[in-house]
Chain A
Amino acid sequence: MENLSAQPHPDAPLLRPIESPARSFYLIVGILLAIILYTGIVYLRQILFGLGVTGMAQPVTWGFYIINFVFFIGISHAGTLISAILRLSKAEWRRPITRMAEVITAIVLAIGGLHPIIDLGRPDRMLHLFYNGRLQSPLLWDVTSITAYFTASTVYLYIPLIPDIAILRDRGVKPRWLYEFLSWGWQGTERQHKVLERAMNILMVIVIPIAVSVHTIISYIFAMTVQPGWHSTIFGPYFVVGAIFSGIAAILVLMIVFRKIFRLEGYLKHIHFNYLSILLLIMSLIWFYFTFSEYLTGYYGHEPNEMRVFWYKFTGDFAPYFWTMVSCNFFLPVLLLCNRKTRTIPGILIASISVIIGMWLERLIIVVPSLANPRLPYPTGIYIPTHTEWMLFIGGISVFVLGYMIFARFFPVISIWEIEEGRKESAKIVTERISSYMPDIEPSSPGGR
């Protein structure tokens, strides 16, 4: 079988990480596993002693766990949503990007979905949700919509992966049984292609509303209460926009990393970064528009409780975070991405990282200040996360990196068959499509006169 995989393949750079993994792979996996193990011990300690080991108290009863929950689920919007929108709009440049985006969704969603459980005071009573849950509670809406999104996005990741798994199976890559099992007997016949295409069409249509619903519902956790700073009708779309925004930034960072590590310069070209970064720029402007309307309505209305939260963010304890968020999410990316000279790979990388930090801060700024400023005259709450919370945050990120690395170890991060298909058919299809847009030439055109 070894000689089979030695055959030259037109997309060899995509197969190389799977067929001959680098030694550093195991080293990094080892480091990540060590971090995750330590995080596990830290979490075990939290289970044994109770949530007292965190920095949460009254009135700030929600902290890092809920912030990271919203943040991770937000990142997950990158993937499936972007890839579904690009596929649906027949953007030909999507081909090398979709897979990477979908993988982000599946992994991050699994991590994000666990955060509410980490946050529970009694994780041992989780099952109460099953036999005594109340569908009236926004938390249950979340459980349902996240489950739906997780399954939908895994299916949406898996189905376009089948032909690539078959490629690996046919090349005899080990472990063979895995590819044999997962390829579902794909042989690339016309009928199979038709089935696959139809399934993908159905999926991309249903995945978009599910994705939008997920972050809308996460915003409902906050918006359904009557707390100042949370009770806002704009929260649904505001969260969705923020989610897509942070998601695009995450895809860009990953694309740059993979391009560097797997030497994929031939696949991820400047144009891909250019298009995606323009999308990031647009999202940054939309994000600013939403933030502006959210705070202006609060400020103009001048409701006293609302104003306490407002000033707490603008000039009070949270001012450093608030203004860092505005610079990270708006000023820096807009400055970097507006100018063609700085819209280079390093520039895009800086902008994306800044957006990811900024969006995390946004979640912090939404969750904590409203809790820290209760309506009745209590002393203003303070929240200082402890080692436990930081560790679980770092652990969450490590699980993401590990998950992504394992995926990239066994499956191609760029869809091989879609690239091949693009090479063969795109030009023809696009020419046909363009000619179909163009106004028809009148039958009795100048030639007759």
Chain B
Amino acid sequence: MNKKTIEVLQILSISLIWVLFTGIAVWIVNLIKVSLELHDAPDASVGISIVAIPVFLILASVLTYVFLGLRKGRKEDTETEKSLKPDQP
């Protein structure tokens, strides 16, 4: 498989993780909405979501951070950065 396809797949997988985690967040928010509508212990739902949603967001952010960080940290990139540097000032 060539490099391009693999790169596309990698970007696709990281986006899928975001889709998954946003999906979870949307799901929890939806449950809160339903519980508000039906007056069915909305306080409990809000309490749980306050804990749950940030956890998933942190996880997705960490993954994205690693993904982007590793891409930026590649040799070619750092070399081009270095070669660009003299022009900048």
Residue interface mask A203-220, B partner, CB < 8 A = 1: 100100010000000000
Q: Which of B17-73 contact A (CB under 8 A)?
A: 20-21, 24, 27-28, 30-32, 34-35, 40-41, 44-45, 48-49, 52, 55-56, 58-59, 62-63, 65-67, 69-73
Q: A135-B31, A136-B45, A155-B63 are in contact. Are A184 and B40 (CB under 8 A)?
A: no
CB distance from B3 to the nearest CB of A (A): 8
Residue interface mask A181-215, B partner, CB < 8 A = 1: 10011110111101110110011001000100000
CB distance from A81 to the nearest CB of B (A): 16
Give every chain B residue within 8 A of A203 (Cβ-Cβ).
62
CB distance from A195 to the nearest CB of B (A): 3
Q: Which residue of B lies closest to A133 (CB)?
A: B31
Judge whether B48 and A141 touch: CB under 8 Å: yes
Judge whether A199 and B62 touch: CB under 8 Å: yes
Most chain B CB neighbours (cut-off 10 Å) among A134, A162, A198, A210: A134
Q: A136-B45, A202-B62, A210-B55 are in contact. Are A191 and B73 (CB under 8 A)?
A: yes
The complex places the Cα of A22 from the Cα of B48 at a distance, in Å, of 48
Q: Count residues on chain B whose CB falls below 8 Å from chain A CBs.
A: 39
The complex places the Cα of A140 from the Cα of B27 at a distance, in Å, of 12
Give every chain B residue within 8 A of A148 (Cβ-Cβ).
52, 55-56, 59
Assess whether A151 is interfacial by the CB under 8 Å rule.
yes
- The majority secondary structure among interface residues of chain B is helix
Cβ-defined partner of A185 (8 Å) among B30, B58, B71:
B71
Q: A184-B67, A189-B75 are in contact. Are A131 and B30 (CB under 8 A)?
A: yes
Give every chain B residue within 8 A of A132 (Cβ-Cβ).
34
The complex places the Cα of A434 from the Cα of B55 at a distance, in Å, of 35
Assess whether B15 is interfacial by the CB under 8 Å rule.
no
- The majority secondary structure among interface residues of chain A is helix
Judge whether A199 and B65 touch: CB under 8 Å: yes
Assess whether A130 is interfacial by the CB under 8 Å rule.
yes
Judge whether A195 and B45 touch: CB under 8 Å: no
Most chain A CB neighbours (cut-off 10 Å) among B10, B24, B44, B59: B59
Assess whether B84 is interfacial by the CB under 8 Å rule.
no
CB distance from B56 to the nearest CB of A (A): 6
Q: Which residue of B lies closest to A189 (CB)?
A: B73
Give every chain A residue within 8 A of B1 (Cβ-Cβ).
176-177, 180
Judge whether A191 and B35 touch: CB under 8 Å: no
The complex places the Cα of A190 from the Cα of B3 at a distance, in Å, of 23
CB distance from A126 to the nearest CB of B (A): 13
Q: A177-B6, A186-B70, A187-B74 are in contact. Are A155 and B62 (CB under 8 A)?
A: yes
Which residues of A line the B interface, CB within 8 A? 130-136, 140-141, 144-145, 147-148, 151-152, 155, 159, 162, 176-177, 180-181, 184-187, 189-192, 194-196, 198-199, 202-203, 206, 210
Q: Which 3 A-B pairs have the closest CB atoms?
A: A195-B69, A191-B73, A135-B45
